[in-house]
A and B are shown apart, each in its own frame.
Chain A
């Protein structure tokens, strides 16, 4: 069974400072991992994905995440926060094994607040 744990429900940073949103996963197989962002009253937008290629994944809007198998982690980072980054961020894991459909399992979300 797959699962994902987002270690912080709320993170607050000042504009221009680094962002770190933490995510740990559990997976029976070689997982695919994603980060999605949800702005207020909007749908979910894909930020980036890891699918067993390079362990450091670059996404949109300056975000990146590093897959660390030994730590079962996939933390999301950004060097410098912008006010427009304020949103809810979801870490997502998907297992695929032959004969089954891929299914996304979402974390509980981390609300990022960016202050002046």
Chain B
């Protein structure tokens, strides 16, 4: 158990809908990262938040957005869903102090199926 929790575990929704994925980082970790894992694209970095502020952006679509609230848990919002958005979405957290690279600890993921 990594200490990172994600809800829900599975989500099935229709095209055009909007969903919110939630993540609680490990206790003490200030950085939260979101990744998308699909068969055709592999594991892709979406976005990072550090202590409530956006820190880095990867291959995140404009239809997707994220936030990190004061208690440091994070939400990934996916809107106008398309079939191609079906994937496993992972949240990870790390200490992420400046001046060093820290390993990231991954949650169990949310499997999103868009029908």
Given contacts A101-B55, A102-B96, A103-B58, contact A45 B101 (CB under 8 A): no
Q: How far is the CA of A45 from the CA of B109 in the complex (A)?
A: 12
| Interface contact B55-A49, CB-CB below 8 Å | no
Q: How far is the CA of A96 from the CA of B48 in the complex (A)?
A: 15
Q: Count of B residues near A, CB < 8 Å?
A: 26
- Cβ-based interface call for B45 (8 A): yes
Further 8 A-B residue pairs, CB within 8 A, beyond A44-B92, A46-B103, A46-B105: A32-B101, A34-B103, A43-B107, A44-B90, A100-B56, A101-B96, A106-B44, A108-B42
Q: How far is the CA of A63 from the CA of B97 in the complex (A)?
A: 27
- The DSSP consensus for interface residues of chain A is strand
Given contacts A32-B101, A43-B90, A96-B101, contact A103 B106 (CB under 8 A): no
- Cβ-based interface call for B104 (8 A): yes
Q: Count of A residues near B, CB < 8 Å?
A: 23
Shortest CB distance A83–B (Å): 22
- Cβ-based interface call for B2 (8 A): yes
| Interface contact A102-B101, CB-CB below 8 Å | yes
Residues of A at under 8 Å CB distance from B? 32, 34, 36, 42-46, 49, 51, 90, 94, 96, 98, 100-106, 108-109
Q: How far is the CA of A90 from the CA of B108 in the complex (A)?
A: 16
| Interface contact B48-A43, CB-CB below 8 Å | no
Q: How far is the CA of A51 from the CA of B43 in the complex (A)?
A: 22
Q: How far is the CA of A96 from the CA of B99 in the complex (A)?
A: 8
Chain B positions within 8 Å of A101 at CB level: 48, 50, 55-56, 96
Q: In the complex, which residues 56-115 of chain B have their Cβ closer than 8 Å to any Cβ of chain A?
A: 56, 58, 90, 92, 96, 99-109
Chain A positions within 8 Å of B48 at CB level: 101, 103
